[in-house]
Structure 1
Amino acid sequence: MKNNNYKSHWASEVKLNRYFISYDYNSLENGGIYNIIVNSINRLKDGLLMLNLFDSESSDADTNYRERITTRFYLIFYLISIFIIIFYTIALNIIVYESISNPTENEYNNLMMFYSKSLYCPCRKISIEYTSFLKIETKFHSICSSDFISKKWLKYLFLDKQWIGYDRRDIRVRGSAYFSFLLSLCKISEITIDNSINQFLNDIFINTQLITKSELEIQIDLVILQFRNITLEKFSESFKLLRDIVNGNAFISSYSLNWYWWKDLKDTFVTFPIKSVLTKDQCSCATRSDCIDSGGIYDGLSNKQRFAIPGWNIGCSVVETLLSSTLECLYNQTCIDLLIFYLTSELTTFPYRINMSALNFSDESHFKRDTFIRNISDELFVEEWKSMTFYSSFYKQCAPIYCSYETKKNDYIIYTISKVLGLCGGLTIALQFIIPLIIKIIFEIRNKYRRNTITPDE
């Protein structure tokens, strides 16, 4: 019975094969183009189902069926393997690595234009001093180079020398101490900046590989910003600590700015504080250090203010007076002329007028006209920080050992085709050996299972 089924199955296959080879010339008349397409698809389908690449010319139907199954698995695995090989070859083998030893700066720039994403150039020297490729300059506030901290202005304010005869809020005589302290702040700021810059430039810039000019400038800008903030913060904290010590110990001002005091005429080294200074708003300099009054020119008899200097505030000490004031009057020539006019209103004290020019103000200035000197001091009187990075010097210090980069083959299509064709031969041999063996084992297991299966009697 089984042999008869196989013979019948084989006969039907032969019939289908003949049907696939033949061509129905009457299809145009019966079904038109649609029938042609459907019939062609069916014939193609039947042809693929009947395809046998492992034909042993056996008359056994079971053997032929197994060979067709083997063919199908062979084609499936073959196509999948070819796809994987093509994808792998395109993804990996078209990229190659090339390198140039001891490249010059021009060669590096050319490579960067075409291979910026993959370019790698290790430095021969990874620790480089900033001073070898970096320069830092600062522009200070115009007050630090003006005539208002010059000797002629300080001497002019101190002409009378008898400061006791003037109100504590008067700028005459005492003004010399204010601007002398301003001069000291400018000098301290310049020294601090110079020392900090020199110390910074002697530090080491560590970089294992060569970076571009733009990347170097970005890194240097960040480092300088950090250096600047640390420098300003250290100075501000130190200055604040000094002020707290002076104010906390309640030192008596020799200019009677916080205490009115009496001097023993019999002993030139003994003074006695009489009472603390109270400002206009009843703030006591005995308990606070931030009390202020309006500064200017005051009448010697009535102590009435004759001229108020805009932005100038008299505090409980020379230091607090200067820090709580602004320089806005010094930017205005009219204000300066009025100040000198009232200074010389008493001819016996100031017998001549001095020529003083106003400070130049730029809209691009880091500080405003009415910025407190305290805030200017916290910035170390620096208007602008300038840094200049010399990339050629940095390149010479780095001295790259080599530059490697990824590039694609120009003939990658031909390369891929030849690579795939070269692997196809070995793939064909391997699959022709493995697939039939696997299918044979599967069929033997199936047949053995069928023989061992017991069908119960009905």
Structure 2
Amino acid sequence: MQTHIGTVTSPSVDQFEHLSDEYPNTLVCPCSQTNIRYDEFMLFDPRYHQVCSSQLISQEFISTLFNINMSQFYPLDFRLMAMSQFQVLASLCQTAAWTISSDLNQFLAQQIITNQAVSREVFEAQVEALVEQMQTTTIANVKYIDQLVSQVTLNSGIMSALNTNRYLIQNPLVSTYYSQHGQYPIGNYVISNTSNSNNTICDCTAMSNCTFQAGYYNYAIRPPQNMSSVYQPSPPPIFIVPGMLVGCLPHDSMLQSTLECFYNRSCLDLIGISQAIIPLNATASSRFGVDTAVNTMFEQLFVETWQNSSKFTSYYNACRPEACSYTYTQRGNFLYAMTMLLSLIGGLTTILGILVPLLVQLFRHLLVKCRGEAIPTMDNNPEGRQLVYFS
């Protein structure tokens, strides 16, 4: 086997990929530019859930949504909280879009350090890992901030302008007001009495995500001063709004709601939404179902797909290897074999030329020594026999 070193000057991307396939373990292509920005070879074009581009989050729709006297509506009435909830929905969409845009700009401004060009397979694996880490970090940061805001709002004791988590009650005896916190029943439309266990009541002082099915009520009442502050829907609502919840705060109740009613024209007509508002498209391609909670969509920043693409060619052109080298082994041909044989013969001739004279001298020395020891003398030939010597 014969080892060779090959070199290709300024290889094209096609040549590089061919060499990568042929010599994956020995190919070396040093980059002429070692620091490469991500935006030189990566591109993002996120596609968001249709609600974030719909009329439902437009200011025109929100400003005309049940423009009512809030004090006349029951806390569980959808019309009381609808405007605030859709303001929250619009804010969530804007937060998601702004966060993704900001994080992508920071991400694409980073640089990858590459001393030598890597194969397409290695490149794609590295890009996939980078993108996955960025997406995970972005989503986790937004979720953390949203939870932090909710906790601050709850612990600070802020009273909603809708009087859904707290409301003021006047004491006519002393002409003073005191704050009463709201409580929501869990699971049933009617709570028969005020002696409910804690398992059926959600208290707004302990948590802000107490929710109950939203509906339309034909009365406006608050619990009397001498009764429990549980919002008891008795009598039941005229009708409920499918998927929509109400509760302590518009933010938390909207997150737990679904938008299933807003995919249906009949449902929109039922709750009095203008014919000018186009329902969401239930047949549109989406990874979120019609009955998906808003919180589930927000946890994914309403992203249907990030539509990220990476171009290996752009990466390779930015790397710009000036030369690639590789080693390979090859069986010798007849000429190579003859050359090796002659070299071997020449080497043996040289060695023998040195060793033979030394061996001859050594042999002669030993022969002379042996002859000297074999010559008899008169002392060891007492019989006087004639000795014959062969020269």
Question: Normalization by structure 2: what TM-score?
Answer: 0.76
State the alpha-carbon separation in 2 of the partners of residues 416 and 229 from structure 1: 61
**Root-mean-square deviation (Å):** 3.0
The answer to whether residue 298 in structure 2 is matched with residue 377 in structure 1 is: yes
The answer to whether residue 244 in structure 2 is matched with residue 312 in structure 1 is: yes
Q: Which residue among 120, 145, 152 is the counterpart of 2:60? A: 152
Note the C-alpha offset of 1:105.
Answer: 3.0
The one-letter code matched in structure 2 to 1:138 is P
The answer to whether residue 208 in structure 2 is matched with residue 289 in structure 1 is: yes
- The answer for the alignment partner of 2:340 in structure 1 is 419
State the alpha-carbon separation in 1 of the partners of residues 201 and 265 from structure 2: 34
- Bigger radius of gyration, 1 or 2? 1
Q: Does the 8 Å contact 1:157/1:173 carry over to 2?
A: no
- The answer for the alignment partner of 1:358 in structure 2 is 279
> How do 1:34-433 and structure 2 match up within 5 A?
90=1, 94-160=2-68, 162-262=69-169, 272-280=178-186, 281-300=200-219, 304-340=236-272, 353-361=274-282, 364-409=285-330, 411-412=332-333, 414-427=335-348, 430=351, 433=355
Aligned residues: 331
State the alpha-carbon separation in 2 of the partners of residues 416 and 110 from structure 1: 30
Secondary structure of 2:244's counterpart equals: strand
Q: Does the 8 Å contact 2:81/2:246 carry over to 1?
A: no
Runs (5+) with no aligned partner, structure 1:
1-89, 344-352, 445-458
Note the C-alpha offset of 1:428.
Answer: 7.1
The one-character-per-residue Cα deviations of 1:96-120 (angstroms, maximum 9, x if unpaired) are 0011222233433443454344322
State the alpha-carbon separation in 2 of the partners of residues 146 and 264 from structure 1: 46
Note the C-alpha offset of 1:204.
Answer: 0.6
Structure 1 segments, 4+ long, off by >6 Å, are none
The one-letter code matched in structure 1 to 2:204 is C
State the alpha-carbon separation in 1 of the partners of residues 162 and 110 from structure 2: 45
Q: Does the 8 Å contact 1:260/1:277 carry over to 2?
A: no
Q: Does the 8 Å contact 2:209/2:249 carry over to 1?
A: no
Q: Does the 8 Å contact 1:313/1:321 carry over to 2?
A: yes
By relative contact order (CA 8 Å, sep 6+), the higher-ranking structure is 2
Q: Does the 8 Å contact 2:31/2:320 carry over to 1?
A: yes
Tell me which protein shows more helix as a share of its residues: 1
Q: Does the 8 Å contact 1:279/1:293 carry over to 2?
A: yes
Note the C-alpha offset of 1:312.
Answer: 1.5
Question: Normalization by structure 1: what TM-score?
Answer: 0.65
* Residues 355, 264 of structure 1: alpha-carbon distance in 2 compared, 3 angstrom cutoff: farther
State the alpha-carbon separation in 1 of the partners of residues 18 and 33 from structure 2: 22
Larger CA deviation: 298-307 vs 373-382 = 298-307
State the alpha-carbon separation in 2 of the partners of residues 338 and 402 from structure 1: 72
State the alpha-carbon separation in 2 of the partners of residues 312 and 417 from structure 1: 90
